[in-house]
Structure formats: structure tokens, C-alpha cells
Amino acid sequence: MQTRREMLTRSATVVGLLAAAGLLPQTAQAAWSQAAFEAKSVADAVKALGGAAPVESRDVTITGPDIAENGAVVPVGCATALPGVKRLLLLVEKNPSALAAVFDITDAVEANVNTRVKMGQSSNVVAVAMMSDGKVLFAQKEIKVTLGGCGG
């Protein structure tokens, strides 16, 4: 996707270069894909990010517990050994907005990220890999939640 704003203040040179090239968004918020984060379904979120219809693939792995004691904090991870990964996505199917996180992968990092998400209820959690050849691959796992993490 488009070049993202460089947030390190000491990288002023880089920022200057980006601005000169007309690649720097007007505001930081402009770089945030609002439509994708407002999408209600996994497919809509991927579409909003410019991806094709996702295809289930064994080459993508989703990690997480089978059961989460508390939906407020659910450890999840997304990985693939395939070359040419552009982006990794983590989504929670039954959350009010499905998309939780988007990671733009470079050659300098492995296509393997872990974070923690909130889950309102038991749901499929989906890991998506958007590839440089345009393919969109996904893996999913059901995580049961004993206590919802989005309420009071």
C-alpha cells in the first residue's frame, strides 16, 4: 500500500523526502484505513483494504488459546512462511468491527506477529496474509470466551 507516515521525529530527512515526493498524507489519521476498521465482516474489511476475496490456506497459521478466560485480553498471532507477504491482518469475526490489526511487512521482518485482542464473545479469529501477487490467503480458529471483553 501507499507509503506510510514516518513517525520517528529524528527521521526528518526521510519525512522531507516523502513530502517532496508527495507521498506524505496530510494528517496522521489519513493513513488509518477507516473504512476497513468500520467493516462488519472479514470479507468487507479485506475488500476495504483493496484485497481480493480471501481463500483458506494451510500456509497461513493463526495462533491463540482454545479458550480465553477473559475476552478483554486474548493472545493471538498470525504467521506464514510464504515469500512475498505484503500485509498480515488479524480479525475477530463476531466483534462489532471485525478488523483488529493490520501489519505492513517488509523484508526486514518475518511474517509472524503476535498481539492481544478483545473479544466480545466466542468467535472465529481470522489471520489473513495479503501477498504481493494479489492473492489473499486466510486461516481461522475458533476461540471460546468465558467472559466478554467489550462490556462493562
Partner 1 sequence: MKTFVVGMAAMLGALGIARAQGKSVVEGIAEYRKMLEDGNPADLFEAKGESLWKTPRGPKNATLEQCDLGKGQGVVKGAFVELPRYFADTKKVQDLETRLVTCMETLQGFNGADIAKTPFGRGEQANVTALATWIAAESRGMRFSLPQGRVEEKKSYEIGKRVFFYRAGPYDFSCATCHGQDGKRIRLQDLPMLTKNPGDGIGFAAWPAYRVSNGEMWSMQLRLNDCFRQQRLPYPNFGSEATIALGTYMGVNAKGAESIAPSIRR
Partner 2 sequence: MADPMRIRAQVAGDKATVRVLMSHEMETGQRKDVAGKTIPAWFIQEVTAALNGKTVMTAQWGPSVAKNPFLQFTIKGAKAGDKIAISWLDNRGDKRTDEAAIT
Give dist(CA 10, CA 141) in Å, integer: 41
In DSSP terms, 61 is beta-bridged to 79
CB of 29 to partner 2, least distance (A): 7
Binding part of the chain for partner 2, among 50-58, 102-110, 133-141 by CB under 8 A, reads 102-110
Sign of the alpha-carbon dihedral angle for 55, 52, 4, 95: negative
The answer to whether residues 149 and 70 touch, using CB atoms and an 8 Å cutoff, is yes
Chain centroid, CA 81 distance in Å: 17
Q: At 84, phi and psi to the nearest 5?
A: 80, 35
CB of 107 to partner 2, least distance (A): 8
Grid cell locating 58: 494451510
CB of 66 to partner 1, least distance (A): 5
Binding part of the chain for partner 2, among 54-62, 74-82, 126-134, 139-147 by CB under 8 A, reads 74-82
Q: According to the binding rule CB under 8 A, does residue 103 interact with partner 1?
A: no
Q: Which residues bind partner 1 (CB under 8 A)?
A: 65-70, 72-73, 75, 116, 121-122, 142, 144-148, 151-152
List residues binding partner 2 (CB under 8 A). 4-11, 28-29, 31-33, 36-37, 72-75, 77, 92, 95-97, 99-110, 112-119, 149-152
